[in-house]
A and B are shown apart, each in its own frame.
Chain A
Amino acid sequence: MSDHSATQSHGLVHRDDEGSKLGMWLFIFTEILLFGALFIVYSVYRFKNQDAFHAAALNLDTVIGTVNTVILIVSSATIAMSISALQQKNKKLAITLMVITLVLAFSFLVNKYFEWGAKFHHGLYPGAEHLMSLGHGQNQFFFLYFFMTGLHAFHVIVGMGFIIFVMRQVMRDELTYNNYTRLENAGLYWHLVDLIWIYLFPLFYLIH
């Protein structure tokens, strides 16, 4: 055995698409449980402070929430379609769809920025006197609102990075019609971001 060739090869000799997809799914499971713990916190505090949660939710803008929901759902569809495009050797369309996904993701963050900005403007942020005067229940609602949507926004940013990373590889033909698992994995991650929002949206914006 020549030692030099050995260092390069082993473990990477053959490509295991199913294996890397399984790895991605397992990672998604840990993400689900990560948010899952926060959903437990949310449900316990909502259970204990039902009226306060209703009152606090009135401060959230349902319109922005709905717009962001639509944005994420559409972006989820576009990234899914880009996989089909790449599989059909339509590299150009695949990249276009990824760019659309990124633009949508970015506009989601822009909306989030203005939404958070408005909350700060109204004194609805942790530590603000106005929020403190509203009582424990509303406090908890806003702590959770900021923490959970903030963590979600962080995942949006990570997901965008992942998509940019694979997009570059598609451009350089490192990912092609018969080697697209990494794009699939980026897609899976992006759908996870969507999936979490599907629950965050009604739980924060639609309590009336």
Chain B
Amino acid sequence: MSHDTHEEVHITPYSTYIIILALLLVLTAITVGVTVIHLGTFSVAVALFVATIKGTLVLLYFMHLKFDNKLFLGLVAIVFAVYTAVIAITFIDYLSR
């Protein structure tokens, strides 16, 4: 058993959470605002792009990936990569039908 439970405890200051919260709210406002302007086919891309930035902020700061054991960060990256690959391969079928 690896006894590294007593590593230094990281306490995230409240100010960090407030800043991230503000960023998330701004990004939400942006996505909602963008739908008013008609970007046509780009609107999906913009919506997903903003959502991904928001998701990354949640993962890194709220879910502590930035401060925790880097193993978790690596695993999350792999899982998302595998999932993206699954979608891409599924769409090989639908895009070429």
Least CB distance from A116 to B in Å reads: 21
Q: CB-CB < 8 A to A80: which residues of B?
A: 12, 17, 61-62
Instruction: Find A73's partner among B13, B25, B61, B86 (CB 8 Å cutoff).
Output: B25
Given known contacts A14-B1, A77-B21, A88-B11, is B76 in contact with A202 (CB within 8 Å)?
no
Residue A16 at the chain B interface, CB threshold 8 Å: yes
Residue tally, chain B, CB below 8 Å to A: 49
Q: Tell which of A32-40, A120-128, A148-156 binds the partner.
A: A32-40
- B43–A69 touching, CB < 8 Å: no
Contact residues, A179-197 vs B (CB, 8 A): 184, 187-188, 191, 194-195
For B59, the closest partner residue in chain A by CB is A195
Given known contacts A16-B1, A18-B69, A32-B83, is B75 in contact with A25 (CB within 8 Å)?
yes
B residues sitting closer than 8 Å to A (CB atoms) are 1, 4-5, 9, 11-14, 17-18, 20-21, 24-25, 28, 31-32, 34-36, 38, 43-44, 47-48, 50-51, 54-55, 58-59, 61-64, 68-69, 71-72, 75-76, 79-80, 83, 86-87, 90-91, 94
In the A-B complex, list the 5 residue pairs whose CB atoms are closest, starting with the nearest: A202-B47, A77-B21, A206-B35, A87-B11, A80-B62
**19 residue pairs from A and B, CB less than 8 Å apart:** A14-B1, A16-B5, A18-B4, A22-B71, A22-B72, A29-B76, A32-B83, A39-B87, A40-B86, A44-B90, A47-B94, A77-B24, A84-B12, A84-B17, A198-B55, A198-B58, A199-B55, A202-B48, A206-B34
